[in-house]
Copies of this chain bind each other. A is one copy, B any other.
Amino acid sequence: MTTQQLHEQILQKKSFLCVGLDPDLDKMPQYLLETEDPIFEFNKAIIDATHDLTVGYKPNTAFFEAYGIKGWMSLQKTINYINENYPEIFTIADAKRGDIGNTSSMYAKAFFEDLNFDSVTVAPYMGKDSVEPFLAFENKHTIMLALTSNEGAFDFQTLNTNGKELYKQVLETSKTWKNSENLMYVVGATKAEYFADVRKIVPDNFLLVPGIGAQGGSLSEVCKYGMNDKVGLLVNSARAIIYASKGTDFAEKAREEALKVQQEMADIIANK
């Protein structure tokens, strides 16, 4: 998928919502646990109930890997289900990968070719040759951690490096990499005031924004500082939507929560 297609989908759906798929057996309705593949059934129900309100789904690979081979099979079924039934949806493998060049090539193959995701999240610590193998894939997108939404973000990401915070150096350096136009960045919503600084460095790239919902970030604040003329944001919400109810109505309640966010987004787009 091209960023132009993603932008068109945003305008059509009046939404820049991405739903995080963090399937946790402990948080699902009881009856699903009796099915053959509870994780897939859960995801499928969430996807069917929300696909017209969201432009992206972001399966979090940890929540699949924790269940071993069975979990990896559920991940494959989930991405296949989205690609077959809702091909307009932008898919993100939230995997936070990154390693030396030949290893990163194998991760890129895993997520872009074997699983056929549109994008994957990567960590920047190992630098240029750990990220460029991902960037080499045409019409695939590499979403690099810049400033994350967790408490530990302040351990290293905001350290002063030669007069600027590390995350700003990460943004600046990454712009010099080959095929850097295929980069998007993770910028956490819990620190809306940082978005103005981020936009000075990467005015055009899409930003994937976790931290809305369960983690407490404000959507309007993020949009005020982070939107560009192509919207340029994918705001992720996982727990607040997918675990809105633990009853048999979980998909319906997930839709209600997604609709609230989508309506707020439609207003923001209209008033821009």
| Copies of this chain in the oligomer | 2
Determine which residue in A110, A114, A151, A210 has the highest number of CB atoms from chain B within 10 A of its CB, and name it.
A110
Are A128 and B155 closer than 8 Å at their CB atoms? yes
Determine which residue in A76, A123, A152, A160 has the highest number of CB atoms from chain B within 10 A of its CB, and name it.
A152
Are B69 and A76 closer than 8 Å at their CB atoms? yes
* Residues of chain B contacted by A151 (CB below 8 angstroms): 127-129
Are B161 and A66 closer than 8 Å at their CB atoms? no
Are A156 and B170 closer than 8 Å at their CB atoms? yes
**Residue of B whose beta carbon sits closest to that of A148:** B126
Say whether A118 faces chain B, with CB atoms less than 8 Å apart: no
Q: Say how far A20's CB is from chain B's closest CB, in angstroms.
A: 10
Contact partner of A62 among B65, B72, B106, CB < 8 A? B106
Contacts A22-B103, A68-B115, A69-B69: A160 and B162 contacting too (C-beta < 8 A)? yes
**Residues 74-110 of A contacting B (Cβ, < 8 Å):** 76, 94, 96-104, 106-107, 109-110
- A residues with a Cβ closer than 8 A to B are 22, 24, 60, 62-63, 65-69, 71-73, 76, 94, 96-104, 106-107, 109-110, 114-115, 123-131, 145, 148-157, 159-162, 166, 169-170, 173, 210
